[in-house]
Structure 1
């Protein structure tokens, strides 16, 4: 089968397509095989490829296969909370690559996954759309749950134009929170449709802080750091507020009794099934920025780093 390997740490050019043997049924007890049709390119993929987590991932070293999000068809029956999913069922999910550290990601034609990592795809959702949902939506949902803010509280979402941030805005608004979104210029109207009450344009820390203080003079009750700006955004949080970080190395040191927690998305089959149904019902909006063949993974990484268009870049397999 075809896979795209990270041959060494570096820029997008270190990605190389090679062939590996296809996994056999039952090769890894407790796992099922999925023949992929689509895989998402995430910011974590970019950071791992660049070597930012090389020490933490040791002894895992290149060559390895990146990729968390996937959508495809089951090659083996899989148990699920709603009963067994038969061979051929369309499923989506994500591999907890960073925590599992096996180096077996989704830039591949076939993956072996735990049944608890996936959920069935509703009939009228395409593979490319389904692959844009799992990691980002689950992470945003779990992050907002960890903020644990009561209805009526004010939350600041950095990186609101990004994939995870857009989901965070929607979940926060649905929970009755007053959302201030830090966005790219031109995204304000769309983010307000998704539930943001106020939008602040991206800028340096002082510019953002001044704009937030104009809306929330005493500081926000909670902050969801989708942009990974870390301590730069911490002054926007009131004393005793809460801060959710999405990467271990972008977690600020707590000050002023602010509760700081790091949330790395954990697979949850029941939650993912619910979120995919919300996408089907258009109660939850996702966005695909580009769809590219697996062979162009290097170019996909370049585009993701340049931030050409908001949304998930999807590799077709």
Structure 2
């Protein structure tokens, strides 16, 4: 089968298209094969490729295959999902640490990672969703804010932040979105009650306080701004970072935490069903063939266009 390998830690040029044997279910009893149609390119893929996680993945060295998000068809039946079912999911790549990612024609996965894809959702859209949408939903669950709370979402123009704005608004929160000024109209359509343009941290905090003079009940920090935003949070509020790599130091009884996106088939099914019903919007920035993975990484690094770049397989 075709795969794209990381041949050494470095820039996009280290990605190479090669052929490998197809995975054999006999090597991992209980797992099932999915024939992929599309795979999303995540920021985490770029960090892994560059060597940023090399110390944490010391037992794993190149060559290996990147990739979290996927959509395709089941080759082997799974509980409640017959062979041929259109499915999507994500591989917990760092936790697995096997180097068997989704830049490949076929993957071997746990059935618990899979959710059926509604007929109304194409493979490209399905592959743009799993890790980011599940992470956003799990962050909101971790915050555990009562309905009607005022919530600041940073990185609202990005993939994770965009989902968080929509899901928080659906949960009945008053959402202040911190994102690109040019996206203000769209972010309001997605559910934001107010939009603060990106800028210097003190300007951002001042902008938030302009809409929430008593400060916000919580922050979901998808942009990883961290400590400079704490003055915008009420005493005893909550601050959840999208990554444990950048978490502020707690103060004033503000609860500080970080979300780690973990596969949740039931949650993913809910999110895909929302997309199918037109109640949750996803954004695909570009679609490129698998062999163009290096170009996909270059475009992500350059901030080419907002949204998820998807590799067609």
TM range (shorter): over 0.9
Displacement, 1:35? 0.7
Equivalent residue for 1:104?
100
Q: Deviations over 1:46-66 (max 9, x none)?
A: 111122221122222222111
Q: Map of 1:47-86 to 2, 5 A cutoff?
A: 47-79=47-79, 83=80, 85-86=81-82
Displacement, 1:30? 1.2
Equivalent residue for 1:305?
301
Q: Deviations over 1:63-86 (max 9, x none)?
A: 21111000001110111xxx2x12
Q: Map of 1:91-240 to 2, 5 A cutoff?
A: 91-240=87-236
Q: Deviations over 1:110-167 (max 9, x none)?
A: 1000000011111121100111111111111110011111112111101101111111
Q: 1:78 aligns to what SS in structure 2?
A: coil
Question: Which among 261, 264, 281 is matched to residue 268 of structure 1?
Answer: 264
Q: Which runs of 5+ in 1 are unaligned?
A: none
Question: Which among 84, 87, 95 is matched to residue 88 of structure 1?
Answer: 84
Q: Contact 1:169–1:196 (CA<8 Å) still a contact in 2? A: yes
Equivalent residue for 1:18?
18
Q: Deviations over 1:218-276 (max 9, x none)?
A: 32110111112222333322221111112221122222211111111111111111111
Aligned Cα root-mean-square deviation (Å): 1.2
Q: Contact 1:169–1:179 (CA<8 Å) still a contact in 2? A: yes
Q: Contact 1:26–1:32 (CA<8 Å) still a contact in 2? A: no
Looking at structure 2, the residues matched to 310 and 274 of structure 1 have their Cα atoms a distance apart, in angstroms, of 24
Give the alignment's TM-score, normalised by structure 1: 0.96
Q: 1:212 aligns to what SS in structure 2?
A: helix
Displacement, 1:302? 1.0
Q: Contact 1:254–1:260 (CA<8 Å) still a contact in 2? A: yes
Q: 1:233 aligns to what SS in structure 2?
A: helix
CA 1:104–1:296 in structure 2 vs 1: closer, same or farther (change >3 Å)? same
Q: 2:59 aligns to what SS in structure 1?
A: coil
Q: Contact 2:154–2:177 (CA<8 Å) still a contact in 1? A: yes
Give the alignment's TM-score, normalised by structure 2: 0.97
Equivalent residue for 2:40?
40
Question: Which among 260, 273, 282 is matched to residue 277 of structure 1?
Answer: 273
Displacement, 1:213? 1.5
Looking at structure 2, the residues matched to 242 and 25 of structure 1 have their Cα atoms a distance apart, in angstroms, of 43
CA 1:30–1:289 in structure 2 vs 1: closer, same or farther (change >3 Å)? same
